[in-house]
Amino acid sequence: MSTLARRLQPIYAPLLHPKHSPRIQCALRGNQPKCTRQFHASASTLDLAYDLHDNGGKATGAPILILHGLFGSRKNNRSISKALARDLSRPIYAIDLRNHGDSAHDKEHNYTVLAEDTEAFLKKHDLKDATLIGHSMGAKTVMTIALRNPECCANIIAVDNAPVDAALASDFPKYVEGMRRVEEGKVRSQKEADKILEPYAPDLPVRQFLLTNLIRPSPSEPLKFRIPVRTLANALDDMADFPFNDPDQARFNRPALFVRGTRSHYVSDETLPIIGRFFPRFELVDVESGHWVISENPEGFRKAVVEFLQEQE
């Protein structure tokens, strides 16, 4: 790996993480009962919208799936998908997760159902030896898939998130409130929407990102968000959780790359021991960016992914 990478040996510190804590505390002792998380099967999986980037048919290697973060869509990953298809000669499936982009909506939104949808996508399209890449919400989704069903992918790349229960940044509830205000305002233009959203999302790039979800259902109707804002607002606690909390019961022994932004708090040094227990073959790369690694530093992210995957060949 490049000089930005730190190859870490497996870490088996006897640690678990309490819900919504940025620290890993709670040691396992003696013969105490193991902590387990109950899984439930959803009533049905949803078909996922996607774009296939295959470098004009020249990309014929093992497939790569790339999953966006909360409030995002496959369109956010269009440029990086094209670049990776070209550099790696591998087809890239950029996916819209449920309740995002052009995929179907459902009131249930947690990492178990997100994983089930993606596993069904892999099966439907007969995708073998896939690499799963995910940012933020997508990162926890690919981690969940890897721990639920280690045989369904060759390796994973988790971008700026860790396999812990940890509170989301306080910005996310503000974004939701701002989007609600936009819809209540029955705005007719992006400019109106931006003005309403500004107090809730002061950074222009963030507002532009959120407003990519704004659509006009018909010429006579006001603008509205194509994502189900209320459903996702109700899912914020689930997005902070992680559905595994015992590395002795679930472990992914295949290669895993964790990419974190140098100015982001989502993958602190304190989370590294638990990452090492769930993913004993993990590597870590720091990319100069905040939480939005792929959009803030696409070249740094591209280099990290290409070097990691070329090592696996």
Catalytic annotation, residues:
136, 291
Residues 27 and 49: their CA atoms lie apart, in Å, by 42
N-term to C-term CA, the chain: 14
Burial class (CB in 10 A: 0-12, 13-18, 19+), 29: exposed
The residues that bridge with 50 in the sheet, in sequence order, are 95
The residues that bridge with 51 in the sheet, in sequence order, are 94
For strands 224-225 and 64-67, give the pairing: unpaired
Burial class (CB in 10 A: 0-12, 13-18, 19+), 183: middle
Whether the Cβ atoms of residue 90 and residue 64 lie closer than 8 Å to each other: yes
